Amino acid sequence: MSTEPVWPGELFADLDRSGPIPLYFQISSRLERAIRDGIIPAGARLENEIAIGQHLGLSRPTVRRAIQELVDKGLLVRRRGIGTQVVQARVSRPVELTSLQEDLTRAGHHPSTRVLSLDRIPADEEAAQRLRVAAGTEITRIRRLRSADGTPMAILENLLPPEYADITRDDLETHGLYEMLRARGISIKIANQTIGARRTHSDEHELLDLAKGSPVLTMDRVAFDQGGSVIEAGHHCYRPDLYSFETTLVSR
């Protein structure tokens, strides 16, 4: 099929060998862009790892690690004895640890948020269990309506443990919840998500501009920091005609 291996060496002319950005990351990110932009076409075979290393003045492990990053993302496929190829399949962006706000902005839409409610309430049994606090603890409950270009897309309900009691409506309307947490130095390491479906409840159909009892796509998430403390527990519901979750799975 393919004969000549390719290597667009000119893309890697300006590697920063002294800066703080790891070399393997500089390579993998440049390579990813080249593949996504079609500069390296689907199905093309890359040069072998040692030759790439010689072009760039790098060792094989470093090159190998850069390639591994893209294999994990599903952009490249390696086969022993054969080489490394760009996958033919169009890969979609995986479900990542980003917020809906950021997803939409990146897609070129104009997201807006209306804070429906923001209260401090004692945790009931279920909320206490999800946030890993004692029942009755004062927690913060947020309910927001997220729209894109004026069309309502999702209702976001989030529960926060007591230590984030001082957030304001303004923060939420302008910056998004995750962005705000990051600004406080809180970084999310792990999140467990469950995706499902159900009918609309109570006032949800009005907010989302749907018929009463129509289906919504739901996502429940509990997010943890590196120490294992719960940062946030959310229950979101999305208009299924406007939103879906995409994943790319790679076997190993």
Partner DNA sequence: CCGCTGCATTTGTCCTAACAATAGCACGAA
Partner DNA sequence: TTCGTGCTATTGTTAGGACAAATGCAGCGG
Binding mask 51-90 for a second copy (x = CB under 8 A): -----------------------x--x-x-----x-xxxx
The one-letter amino acid code at 244 reads S
> Out of 13, 82, 211, 249, which residue is the one contacting DNA (CB under 7 A)?
82
Long-range contacts of 244-250 (CB under 8 A, 24+ apart): 244/217, 245/95, 245/195, 245/217, 245/219, 246/92, 246/93, 246/94, 246/95, 247/92, 247/94, 247/95, 248/73, 248/74, 248/91, 248/92, 248/93, 248/94, 249/74, 250/71, 250/72, 250/73, 250/74
Name the nearest CA neighbour of 49 among 85, 91, 4, 83: 83
Binding at 49: pick from a second copy, DNA, none (beta carbon under 5-8 Å per type): DNA
Q: Which pair of structure tokens corresponds to residue 231? A: 């940062």
Is residue 244 part of the contact set for a second copy (CB under 8 A)? yes
For DNA, the binding residues in 159-198 under the rule CB under 7 A are none
The residue among 52 and 172 lying less far from DNA, judged by its C-beta, is 52
**Which sign does the torsion angle of CA 5, 87, 251, 56 carry?**
positive
Binding at 64: pick from DNA, a second copy, none (beta carbon under 5-8 Å per type): DNA
Cα–Cα dist 45/244, whole Å:
33
> Out of 59, 105, 137, 193, which residue is the one contacting DNA (CB under 7 A)?
59
Beta carbons within 10 angstroms of residue 232's beta carbon: 24
Binding at 90: pick from a second copy, DNA, none (beta carbon under 5-8 Å per type): a second copy
Is residue 16 part of the contact set for a second copy (CB under 8 A)? no
Is residue 50 part of the contact set for DNA (CB under 7 A)? yes
> Out of 29, 62, 193, 218, which residue is the one contacting DNA (CB under 7 A)?
62
- Pairing between β-strand 230-238 and β-strand 215-224 as defined by DSSP bridges: antiparallel
Is residue 164 part of the contact set for a second copy (CB under 8 A)? no
Cα–Cα dist 224/215, whole Å:
29
Q: What's the min distance (Å) between Cβ of 147 and DNA?
A: 37
| Interface ranges with DNA (CB under 7 A) | 5, 20, 22-25, 46, 48-51, 57-62, 64-65, 78-84
| Interface ranges with a second copy (CB under 8 A) | 42-43, 74, 77, 79, 85, 87-92, 95-97, 187-199, 214-217, 222, 224, 226-229, 240, 243-251
